[in-house]
Amino acid sequence: MKYDILIVDDEDIIIKLVRHLLIKSGLHHDPQGFLTGQDALGYLNNQKDSNNPQIILLDINMPDFDGWDFLDFIPSMGLDFPVYVVIITSSINKSDRIKASQYELVAGYIEKPVSMKNMEEIKALEPLSSLFNT
Amino acid sequence: MNEKEALMRILVIEDNMGDFLLISEYLEEEFNYLEIEHTSTCKEALTRDTSKYDVILLDLSLPDRSGEELVTEILKFAGNIPVIVLTGYSDRNFAIKSIGMGTADYLLKDELKSDILQKSITYSIERKKVFNQLEDSEKRYRELFHLSPLPMYVFDKETFKFLDVNRAAISHYGYSKEEFLEMTVFDIRPESEKDRVMETIAQNEELEGRKNPGVFKHLKKNGEQIDVEISYNDLDFEGNPALLVLANDVTLKFQYISAIEKQNEKLKEIAWIQSHVVRAPLARLMGLVNLINMTDDDDPDIDKKEMMQHILNSTDELDRIIRDITNKTEQINIDSLK
């Protein structure tokens, strides 16, 4: 595969669930899970040698360093590879959806619970579809 | 003019019959419809019903009363009716003085002519009418001040001493009128507001009309602090620059607003909890059920026991959150203000 998938969520069981769905749907054979945004940023920082695009499935509500902080931080890192973020949140607030759409990094927005159907949606996302077809 | 056609009712208080007859003659020349009543003593005059006359003609020396005493008594008796003094040369100076006491005019008997008498009567009645109107309107304004349901007071712009307070202020603040008149406006305020009051008055000095400088803190006699919305006007009070102030107690209104704001805050909190906190364990539950549903019983990746524990945790969490919300809702109690 020419891309990596990261799952960032403060709940272990959600990572497990999303990982399972990603594998089953064939989107990726080994997605990486992170319980905090900082851990995920650390991982991204170590990928400087790789040119693989990174797809990040990002939870918004996390203690201390939340999804918004994560999104605000990424541009300052000067990463050489493309980063695509798909928000995965339990929020059903319109204001959160609107806020997410204002980030250039954000490619998609999924409301929990995550199901197989969402995996199909990810495959169809405009900025990502080219990755999956090659 | 049609004063000739109108009915003129006149009381003549005159002990000299010759003078009375002369006056009557002049009156008859000038007024077509005339009712003249005559008394020759002060005592007798006081028994009459003043509402029956348009004007009183008064001789300054009567057998039972004369001079200042007489004028005072008759003026009191006359009320709103003009009193014209008739006198000889010898009493001229006192006649002039009587104008200051409240008589409408004075006429010297030796110079009396019918047209002079007619003119004096007509002027006196008209002038008295205007004067009475003025007095009525002043009375109305006084009532407006004293009967206003909102506390109002007047204070001297230089000494800051109270000059007048209305009934609402007396009952609202707890001070008697006498106590108020011994105090300055700073005595009904916490010390910390003194500078603000001075600054406000100075800043609005150039402003015409009513000033609404906002809400100030006042103290009642019992020490209770209240919030009052102030509006005031410049006023000339018996020759001194003064301010007429209306102080509307908004303490309760403020308490209501702050209670409503707190309530709004709580409602917002609840709405936020609903969408973020409640939904998290619920979404997790749905995801877990979904996961169990789509995995085979012998999938090595999925431990059913572990799943079950997560489901239990989620339901416990959900229960706790809902109790929390109920708690918050019960804290909102705006009725307790009453």
Domain membership of residue B224 (yes or no) is yes
Contact call for B283 and A116, based on CB within 8 A: no
Least confident among A76-80, B38-42, B236-240, B324-328: B324-328
Q: How many domains does chain A have?
A: 1
- Write down which residue in B222, B249, B276 finishes a domain: B249
User: Does residue B195 share a domain with residue B88?
Assistant: no
Residues B244 and B289 both lie in one domain: no
**Please, which residues have CB within 8 angstroms of residue B158's CB and are 6 or more apart in sequence?**
B240, B241
* Nearest residue, CB atoms, B290 vs list A11, A92, A115: A115
Q: Is residue B288 located within the same domain as residue B242?
A: no
Q: B181 in a domain, yes or no?
A: yes
Q: Which of B205, B220, B249 is the last residue of a domain?
A: B249
- Taking an 8 Å cut-off on Cβ atoms, the answer to whether A93 and B276 are in contact is yes
B162 lies in the same domain as B216: yes
Q: What is the pLDDT of residue B103?
A: 92
Q: Where are the beta strands (DSSP E) in B178-293?
A: 211-219, 225-237, 240-249
How many structural domains compose chain B? Answer: 3
Do both B209 and B263 map to the same domain?
no
Task: Give the phi and the psi of residue B223 in degrees, each rounded to 5.
Answer: 90, -10
pLDDT of residue B336: 61
Which residues have a Cβ under 8 Å from the Cβ of B113 and sit 6 or more positions away? B26
CATH code, domain with B45: 3.40.50.2300
At residue B1, the pLDDT reads 47
| pLDDT at B334 > cutoff 80 | no
3-state secondary structure (DSSP) of residue B190: coil
Does residue B123 sit in the same domain as residue B239? Answer: no
Q: Which residue range is the domain that position A33 belongs to? A: 4-133
Cα separation of B16 and B68, whole Å? 19
Indicate whether B34 and B131 sit together in one domain.
Answer: yes
Q: Whole domain around residue B182: which residue ranges?
A: 148-249
Tally of CB atoms within 10 A around B130 = 9
User: What is the ipTM metric for this complex?
Assistant: 0.81
Does residue B238 sit in the same domain as residue B314? no
Co-location of B198 and B271 in the same domain: no
Q: Is B275 in Cβ contact with A113 (below 8 Å)?
A: no
Measured between alpha carbons, how far is A123 from A28 in angstroms, rounded to an integer?
Answer: 11
Mean pLDDT of the region A69-76: 94
B95 and B41 assigned to the same domain: yes
For residue B2, tell me if it sits in a domain. Answer: no
Chain A positions touching chain B (beta carbons under 8 Å):
11, 13-14, 17, 20, 24, 61, 90-93, 111-116
Q: What is the pLDDT of residues B45-94, one digit of tens each?
A: 999 988 889 999 999 889 998 888 999 999 999 988 999 999 887 888 88
Cross-chain Cβ contact B287/A114 below 8 Å: yes
Q: Which residue of A has its CA nearest to B279?
A: A90
Give the tens place of pLDDT for each residue, B204-246.
888 888 999 999 999 999 999 999 999 999 988 888 899 999 9
Within a domain: B1: no
Tell me which of B118, B144, B170 is where a domain ends. B144
| Low-confidence winner among A35-44, B2-11, B192-201, B254-263 (lowest mean pLDDT) | B2-11
Q: What is the CATH classification number for the domain harbouring A123?
A: 3.40.50.2300
State the pLDDT at residue B224.
94
- What gap in Å lies between CA A108 and CA A128, rounded to an integer? 10
* Single pTM value for the model: 0.51
Q: Do B205 and B89 share a domain, yes or no?
A: no
